[in-house]
Structure 1
């Protein structure tokens, strides 16, 4: 039994990718990967990406802003984690910095304090050193700056 590979014309692939990008913001890497998975040749991939950029379906600055906003508001990620995840997606530094600058400092600290206090209250550990370590590990994993984390951990767990 032979599995048939679905092939797409450039027009079909372009239409498919327009929908893919219209559904939610995408980075260049995700679009390139999607086209590669569709067995498109490199020349066609480049043509389609140029088309998506020209028609504003693909905009990495917009993607970075949407990504930062969403992950910060919903998952409560700190700046370090946001930067790391965007770098993994090959987003350029300028767009990363632009997106991070959209987070208000007061809101950033407020979210951090709420998250730290909630987590500190939910840790069942009785040994204060282990409890402090658990809190610190959690906040560092979430991508919050270590100076903020250690200061808050010492303040919350005496």
Structure 2
């Protein structure tokens, strides 16, 4: 069976642009993701930069639109908190200003509702009798989902688990 390396096809700039447009049309992409994909296709640096510029000019690539989509999707589908979303966007090399705009676009009411739902769901699965250990497990779980400590402590206090 052939490896992924052996199946690589050298693309010229025009066909790479078409393929990149299709890839971006399927789902929002960051410039970093697109650049990585173009490197995978073994294009020259100058060609990559030209393709990126063309994709931005034709509105196939838009960092702000990507960040808003990413934040919304991770929050609504995976129930991630702002800290984890921020970290994910940083890994995609999205600028800080755009990250802040994406995070501020999240509905605060839904954000708190998701946190409460995760808290209740996890609390119902923890069989620990010791209140301190129980709250520690809840704290760690919610921190791993990317929620802020102060919100978690407030939730623990309101549910008398601190």
Please give the TM-score of this superposition, normalised by the length of structure 1: 0.93
The counterpart of 1:140, out of the listed 140, 143, 146, is: 143
- Which position in structure 2 is the counterpart of 1:102? 105
- 2:54, 2:7 → 1: CA distance? 28
CA contact (8 A) 1:78 1:145 kept: yes
Cα shift at 1:102:
1.2
Matches of 2:154 and 2:123, distance apart in 1: 13
Preserved contact between residue 25 and residue 58 of structure 1 (Cα < 8 Å) = yes
Aligned counterparts of 1:44 and 1:115: Cα–Cα separation in 2: 46
**How many residues are paired up?**
156
Contact 1:116–1:139 (8 Å) recurs in 2:
yes
Sort the Cα spacing of 1:131 and 1:13 in 2 relative to 1 into closer, same or farther, 3 A: same
Partner in structure 1 of residue 41 of structure 2: 38
Per-residue Cα deviation, 1:18-77 (whole angstroms, up to 9, x for no partner): 011000000011000000011001000000000100001101100000000000001111
Which one of 24, 28, 32 corresponds to residue 31 of structure 2?
A: 28
Runs of 4+ in 1 over 6 A off after TM superposition: none
TM-score (norm 2): 0.91
In the alignment, structure 2 segments of 5+ residues that lack a partner are: 1-5
* Runs of at least 5 residues in structure 1 that lack an aligned partner in the other structure: none
Contact 1:132 1:154 in 2 (8 A): no
- Distance in structure 2 (CA, Å) of the matches to 1:153 and 1:43: 54
**C-alpha separation in 2, matches of 1:51 and 1:57:** 9
CA deviation after TM superposition for structure 1 residue 137, in Å: 0.3
Coordinate RMSD, CA, aligned = 1.4
Q: Deviations over 1:92-128 (max 9, x none)?
A: 1111111111112222111111211111112122222
3-state SS of 2:77 partner: helix
2:65 paired residue among 62, 65, 69: 62
